[in-house]
Amino acid sequence: MKYETENLRNVGLFGHGGAGKTSLAEAILYTAKVVDRMGKVENGNTVSDFEPEEIKRGISLSLSVLPLEWKGKKINVIDTPGYVDFIGEIKSSLRAVDSMLIVIDAISGIQVQTEKVWGMGEEEKLPVAFVVNKLDRESADFYENVKAIQERFGGKAIPIYLPIGKEGNFNGIIDLLEGKAYIYKNEKGEPVESNIPAELKSDYEKYRQQLIETIIEFDEELLQKYLEGEEIESALIAKTLKEAFIGREIFPIFPVSSFKNVGISKLLDAIVAFFPNPLERPAIPVEDLKKGETKAVRIGEKNALLAFVFKTSADPFVGKISYIRVLSGVLKPDSTLFNVNKGVQEKIGGLFYQRGKNQEVATEISTGDIGVITKLKETSTNETLSDKDNSIKVVPVEFPEPVFAVAVVPKTRADEDRMSSAIARILEEDPTLRVQRNVETNETLIYGLGDSHLEVVVERMQRKFGVNVTLGTPQVAYRETIRATVKAEGKVKKQTGGRGQYGHVWLELEPLPRGAGYEFVDKIVGGVVPKNYIPAVEKGVRETMEKGVLAGFPVVDVRVTLFDGSYHEVDSSDMAFKIAAAKAFKKGFMEAKPVLLEPIMSVEVTAPSEYTGDIISDLNGRRGRVTQIDSLGKLQVVKALVPLAEMLRYSSVLKSITQGRGSYSMKFSHYEEVPAKIQEEIIAKAKPREEEEE
């Protein structure tokens, strides 16, 4: 069935993990008769959570698109993860939705991710409504949650419906605008209209009055009528409520129980009646490549075809699946589009509507709608597809920088051969991942947003591409250097009949300023070391520096001067001088007050101000030096210099300290000397490794 843009609703489910987003999505699909029974997260049979990793953990790990029809409108529900490690999926979904439903667990109330997604809604200027879920549970209290929401997010958050019954007796809702009650007699979600219970009349009048007074503040004409005591038509109130909601002047609150399927049908009614269609969505930032300017355009504003890829999935059988949102025009199969980001053409094959893991063939995807394209060759997440002559590019979503690193080690040679291609496919799926090859430590490092994030990545590599790897703590790239100037002799003399080996050098080693690197100086006078052997001397020095002397780490910031030596006309050779130079360097290095250097990172930690003291105390315990503290609204930004060795598992520690409210970034700053006691420990650990390598 074809839907006009005005008849589309794109709604995202957001909130903290465990609030019941996936269960709510399942109840919505069941109520809309898309499925004939409600699946359960604990049974691993929901439409939304279909990946094996999600079923195993019982949580959503990626966004899922769930289209349905309700009263002549098409609603695309997008279920999103609730844990911070998978925030990239939440960020991606914000370009695909026109409004947000923040789901709150009636028992747990407002939690960390509730606050985070509220902030994202503010940034995107999206209309936001709240769903208080699990009202059938023991100790669930709708009004306490309303109070908490208003205290945290402002008095413009206000109920549109009230619950009938409490805890296990929650069985209906009161529509404050209609002035009617609806009782749900079974789990089919088909309510029966009823009179408002007598014991709830006063609550109804109180909250209806609050709702009307909040709505009329948005419209001067309504306010005038209200003050003059005129009767205001319900249709006019509903129209103004919609305008106020879309304008972020009102944030409706809905009571539901996904488990008992109470309030779901009336929530869908509200989505159809009050939630914006794509044309009413806040404008989306775009870049005009011809004019070199950034501006905002509304969906449907442009005549040219414009589509944005907000998610990519790598399927080992189907290939690449690109989730797209059409921002203007109509997308049809078997067409050719232009990738504005990469300047290449893409052949569009089949178009589909995705529901969980299932696909339905689409004859076209209209303005504002969501669908998928399979097997795009060049196009990735965050890229724009358009007509060839269009120069508009959607401004990419900004994803958090991954800072949590693990070393990835293939289990077998076959795994090693397949690993790079598997990682490349996984990177296509997840823009919050980064891969780096550390040539010094000979490790492949994957950077993500936390432990759980990277564990899931490894599981997907194994399941989708048959690559088995283990995760380890990355090695720190220490350096070795000296603090004193010394002279040292190196001699190779092997003369036992026949051609022998003879090389003899004197080297001076002196420290250079930090970051200066390495210098080799030739001060040979009178040919005591012939010129043709000097490259071999330098090679012996360089190879020794690369392998290290103290603990097997590269030597830096040293000037090596060759100032004396001797040779034998028959027995001298390049090899002899190379070995002599290595001997001299090792001997001199150990006499020149050697020391290990460690990488120091510039770290920025952002968190609510109440955690600043604990953050500073923890950073001090990590040998960090706090350099600056800045304010950022209600947040504080702590800047510090901290050794990398102390930051390898900081992600989980910061979550614990700030109850998940903190974030951090870090980048390399410089190298500093390792304290003596820690240096001894590093050298002691390095010795067995050196013996194994030998």
- For CA atoms 216, 218, 222, 226, give the dihedral sign: positive
Per-residue pLDDT, 688: 55
Per-residue pLDDT, 135: 96
119 and 226 within one domain: yes
366 and 342 within one domain: yes
20 and 54 within one domain: yes
409 and 387 within one domain: no
Report pLDDT digits (tens) over 211-254.
988 888 877 777 777 776 677 777 788 888 999 999 999 999 99
Q: How many residues does the chain have?
A: 694
- Where do we find the tokens 């350099």? 627
Per-residue pLDDT, 217: 82
Report pLDDT digits (tens) over 130-167.
999 999 999 999 999 999 999 999 989 999 999 999 99
Structure tokens at 490: 């190196």
Per-residue pLDDT, 487: 96
Report pLDDT digits (tens) over 94-138.
999 999 999 999 999 998 889 889 999 999 999 999 999 999 999
Asked, for residue 509, whether it belongs to a domain, the answer is: yes
Per-residue pLDDT, 693: 47
Report pLDDT digits (tens) over 632-671.
877 899 999 999 999 988 988 998 999 888 888 888 899 9
| Residue 513, helix vs strand vs coil | coil
Per-residue pLDDT, 633: 75
SS3 content of the chain, % helix, strand, coil (to 5): 30, 35, 35
Query: What CATH number corresponds to the domain at position 456?
Result: 3.30.70.870
Per-residue pLDDT, 591: 96
| The domain boundary residue, chosen from 359, 394, 429 | 394
Per-residue pLDDT, 131: 97
Q: Model-level pTM?
A: 0.84
Asked, for residue 691, whether it belongs to a domain, the answer is: no
491 and 344 within one domain: no
Asked, for residue 230, whether it belongs to a domain, the answer is: yes
Q: What is the mean pLDDT of residues 623-630?
A: 94
Report pLDDT digits (tens) over 278-288.
999 999 999 98
Q: What is the mean pLDDT of residues 204-212?
A: 91
Q: What is the mean pLDDT of residues 263-274?
A: 96
| The domain boundary residue, chosen from 280, 310, 328 | 280
Q: What strands, in cross-sheet order, belong to the sheet with 404-410? A: 434-438, 443-448, 404-410, 469-472
Asked, for residue 455, whether it belongs to a domain, the answer is: yes
Report pLDDT digits (tens) over 434-465.
998 887 778 889 999 888 899 999 999 999 88
Per-residue pLDDT, 83: 87
Q: How many Cα neighbours within 13 Å face the side chain of 357?
A: 12
**Would you say residue 574 has pLDDT above 70?**
yes
- For CA atoms 310, 313, 314, 316, give the dihedral sign: negative
Report pLDDT digits (tens) over 506-560.
999 999 998 888 999 999 988 999 999 999 999 999 999 999 999 889 999 999 9
439 and 361 within one domain: no
How many Å apart are CA 454 and CA 477, to the nearest integer?
22
Query: What CATH number corresponds to the domain at position 175?
Result: 3.40.50.300
Range of the domain at 639: 598-678
Residue 351 CB burial class (10 angstroms; 0-12, 13-18, ≥19): buried
| Residue 98, helix vs strand vs coil | coil
Q: Return left, alpha or beta for 594; rule: phi > 0 is left, psi -120 to 50 is alpha, else beta.
A: beta
Say how many Å lie between the first and final Cα of the chain, rounded: 70
Pair 5, 326: CB distance under 8 Å: no
Per-residue pLDDT, 446: 92
- For CA atoms 435, 440, 441, 442, give the dihedral sign: positive
242 and 130 within one domain: yes
How many Å apart are CA 409 and CA 355, to the nearest integer?
36
| The domain boundary residue, chosen from 592, 608, 643 | 592
Query: What CATH number corresponds to the domain at position 304?
Result: 2.40.30.10
Amino acid at the residue 257 = S
Report pLDDT digits (tens) over 14-48.
999 889 999 999 999 999 999 988 888 888 889 88
CB atoms within 10 A of CB 219: 20
Q: Which helix (H) or strand (E) holds 272?
A: helix 264-274
Asked, for residue 539, whether it belongs to a domain, the answer is: yes
418 and 390 within one domain: no
Q: Smallest Cα–Cα separation from 129: which of 257, 23, 17, 246?
A: 246
Q: How many domains does the chain have?
A: 5
Structure tokens at 360: 């339905």
Between CA 607 and CA 609, with CA 608 as vertex, the angle to 5 degrees is 110
**Residue 2 pLDDT class (50, 70, 90 cuts):** confident
How many Å apart are CA 255 and CA 173, to the nearest integer?
8
How many Å apart are CA 421 and CA 427, to the nearest integer?
10
Residue 400 CB burial class (10 angstroms; 0-12, 13-18, ≥19): middle
Rg, C-alpha atoms of the chain = 33
Pairing between β-strand 157-159 and β-strand 251-255 as defined by DSSP bridges: parallel
624 and 581 within one domain: no
195 and 179 within one domain: yes
How many Å apart are CA 433 and CA 100, to the nearest integer?
26
Asked, for residue 692, whether it belongs to a domain, the answer is: no
91 and 239 within one domain: yes
Query: What CATH number corresponds to the domain at position 496?
Result: 3.30.230.10
Asked, for residue 684, whether it belongs to a domain, the answer is: no
- Where do we find the tokens 């049974």? 43
Asked, for residue 289, whether it belongs to a domain, the answer is: yes
- Where do we find the tokens 């009336």? 266
Pair 314, 320: CB distance under 8 Å: yes
Structure tokens at 614: 């604990």
582 and 614 within one domain: no
Query: What CATH number corresponds to the domain at position 647?
Result: 3.30.70.240
